Structure 1
Amino acid sequence: MARTVLTVVGVILALWLIFGIVIPAVFATLKFLLVFALIALAVVAVITVVGKMSR
Protein backbone atom coordinates (compact mmCIF):
# COMPACT_ATOMS: atom_id res chain seq x y z
CA MET A 1 0.00 0.00 0.00
CA ALA A 2 2.76 2.43 0.89
CA ARG A 3 4.53 1.67 -2.38
CA THR A 4 1.38 2.49 -4.35
CA VAL A 5 0.87 5.74 -2.47
CA LEU A 6 4.49 6.77 -2.98
CA THR A 7 4.25 5.91 -6.69
CA VAL A 8 1.16 8.10 -7.07
CA VAL A 9 2.83 10.93 -5.15
CA GLY A 10 5.92 10.58 -7.36
CA VAL A 11 3.85 10.75 -10.53
CA ILE A 12 2.01 13.83 -9.27
CA LEU A 13 5.30 15.53 -8.38
CA ALA A 14 6.76 14.66 -11.78
CA LEU A 15 3.74 16.12 -13.58
CA TRP A 16 3.91 19.25 -11.41
CA LEU A 17 7.60 19.59 -12.28
CA ILE A 18 6.95 19.22 -16.00
CA PHE A 19 3.93 21.52 -16.22
CA GLY A 20 5.03 24.00 -13.57
CA ILE A 21 8.72 24.45 -14.31
CA VAL A 22 9.95 22.78 -17.51
CA ILE A 23 7.31 23.89 -20.03
CA PRO A 24 7.25 27.57 -18.89
CA ALA A 25 11.06 27.61 -18.92
CA VAL A 26 11.11 26.33 -22.51
CA PHE A 27 8.58 28.95 -23.63
CA ALA A 28 10.49 31.70 -21.82
CA THR A 29 13.69 30.63 -23.56
CA LEU A 30 12.01 30.57 -26.97
CA LYS A 31 10.48 34.00 -26.36
CA PHE A 32 13.86 35.41 -25.35
CA LEU A 33 15.52 33.97 -28.46
CA LEU A 34 12.75 35.37 -30.68
CA VAL A 35 13.18 38.86 -29.22
CA PHE A 36 16.96 38.56 -29.52
CA ALA A 37 16.64 37.51 -33.20
CA LEU A 38 14.30 40.41 -33.96
CA ILE A 39 16.72 42.89 -32.39
CA ALA A 40 19.60 41.39 -34.37
CA LEU A 41 17.54 41.61 -37.57
CA ALA A 42 16.78 45.27 -36.90
CA VAL A 43 20.47 46.03 -36.27
CA VAL A 44 21.51 44.28 -39.49
CA ALA A 45 18.81 46.14 -41.44
CA VAL A 46 19.91 49.52 -40.04
CA ILE A 47 23.57 48.82 -40.79
CA THR A 48 22.68 47.72 -44.33
CA VAL A 49 20.58 50.84 -45.00
CA VAL A 50 23.22 53.16 -43.57
CA GLY A 51 25.93 51.40 -45.59
CA LYS A 52 23.99 51.77 -48.85
CA MET A 53 23.10 55.42 -48.22
CA SER A 54 26.72 56.44 -47.60
CA ARG A 55 27.81 55.52 -51.15
Structure 2
Amino acid sequence: MNKASQGIPMGTAYAVWTGIGAAGTVIVGMIFFKEPTDFWRLFFIATLILSVAGLKFVAN
Protein backbone atom coordinates (compact mmCIF):
# COMPACT_ATOMS: atom_id res chain seq x y z
CA MET A 1 0.00 0.00 0.00
CA ASN A 2 2.91 2.31 0.70
CA LYS A 3 4.17 1.91 -2.87
CA ALA A 4 0.68 2.43 -4.33
CA SER A 5 0.08 5.62 -2.34
CA GLN A 6 3.13 7.21 -3.96
CA GLY A 7 1.40 7.19 -7.35
CA ILE A 8 -2.24 7.78 -6.42
CA PRO A 9 -3.99 9.72 -3.63
CA MET A 10 -4.05 8.05 -0.21
CA GLY A 11 -7.86 7.81 -0.10
CA THR A 12 -7.94 6.01 -3.42
CA ALA A 13 -5.10 3.68 -2.39
CA TYR A 14 -6.94 2.78 0.82
CA ALA A 15 -10.23 2.16 -1.03
CA VAL A 16 -8.47 -0.08 -3.55
CA TRP A 17 -6.63 -1.93 -0.76
CA THR A 18 -9.75 -2.62 1.30
CA GLY A 19 -11.90 -3.39 -1.74
CA ILE A 20 -9.48 -6.02 -2.99
CA GLY A 21 -9.30 -7.52 0.50
CA ALA A 22 -13.09 -7.63 0.90
CA ALA A 23 -13.70 -9.11 -2.54
CA GLY A 24 -10.88 -11.62 -2.10
CA THR A 25 -12.23 -12.75 1.27
CA VAL A 26 -15.72 -13.33 -0.13
CA ILE A 27 -14.40 -15.17 -3.18
CA VAL A 28 -12.20 -17.42 -1.03
CA GLY A 29 -15.21 -18.12 1.19
CA MET A 30 -17.33 -19.12 -1.79
CA ILE A 31 -14.64 -21.36 -3.30
CA PHE A 32 -13.10 -23.05 -0.26
CA PHE A 33 -15.83 -22.87 2.41
CA LYS A 34 -18.85 -23.46 0.16
CA GLU A 35 -20.59 -20.21 1.11
CA PRO A 36 -23.69 -19.42 -0.98
CA THR A 37 -23.16 -18.00 -4.47
CA ASP A 38 -26.51 -16.51 -5.41
CA PHE A 39 -27.08 -13.82 -8.03
CA TRP A 40 -27.12 -10.84 -5.67
CA ARG A 41 -23.92 -11.84 -3.91
CA LEU A 42 -22.08 -12.17 -7.23
CA PHE A 43 -23.67 -8.95 -8.49
CA PHE A 44 -22.44 -6.90 -5.53
CA ILE A 45 -18.96 -8.45 -5.61
CA ALA A 46 -18.73 -7.52 -9.31
CA THR A 47 -19.96 -4.01 -8.48
CA LEU A 48 -17.30 -3.70 -5.77
CA ILE A 49 -14.53 -4.84 -8.11
CA LEU A 50 -15.70 -2.50 -10.89
CA SER A 51 -15.91 0.40 -8.43
CA VAL A 52 -12.37 -0.22 -7.20
CA ALA A 53 -11.12 -0.37 -10.80
CA GLY A 54 -13.02 2.84 -11.59
CA LEU A 55 -11.42 4.63 -8.65
CA LYS A 56 -8.00 3.58 -9.85
CA PHE A 57 -8.66 4.77 -13.41
CA VAL A 58 -9.93 8.21 -12.40
CA ALA A 59 -7.30 8.78 -9.70
CA ASN A 60 -4.88 10.62 -11.99
TM-score by length of 1: 0.43
Instruction: Tell me which protein shows more helix as a share of its residues.
Output: 1
Larger Rg: 1
Does 1 or 2 have the higher relative contact order (CA < 8 Å, sep 6+)? 2
